[in-house]
């Protein structure tokens, strides 16, 4: 899942230097709009709907990866 998120961030934002601890806002500088766009892309790609309360608490790539792994499995 980490590799898939890396691929999305690379394709959409040109971001290639990532680790599991990368913070969407602090490290990548993603705005709220950018983050919502990322959530929409993930939902479309995996045909899932992320809970709004839950995704608002996701701050790192690890958070998103873990959440998606549980949601998709």
Domain of 61, CATH number, reads 1.10.1200.10
Domain range for residue 31? 2-72
* pLDDT at position 73 over 90: no
- Give me the pLDDT at residue 25, please: 96
pTM, to two decimals: 0.90
User: Into how many domains does the chain fold?
Assistant: 1
For 7-30, what is the mean pLDDT? 95
pLDDT of residue 55: 87
The CA angle 40-43-50, to the nearest 5 degrees, is 95
Name the band, by pLDDT with cuts 50, 70 and 90, for residue 30.
very high
């Amino acid at each position: 899942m980490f590799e898939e998120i890396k691929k999305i961030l690379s394709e959409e934002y040109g971001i290639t230097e990532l680790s599991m601890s990368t913070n969407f806002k602090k490290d990548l500088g993603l705005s709220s709009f950018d983050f919502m766009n990322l959530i929409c892309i993930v939902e479309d790609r995996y045909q899932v709907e992320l809970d709004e309360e839950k995704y608002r608490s996701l701050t790192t790539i690890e958070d998103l990866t873990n959440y998606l792994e549980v949601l998709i499995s």
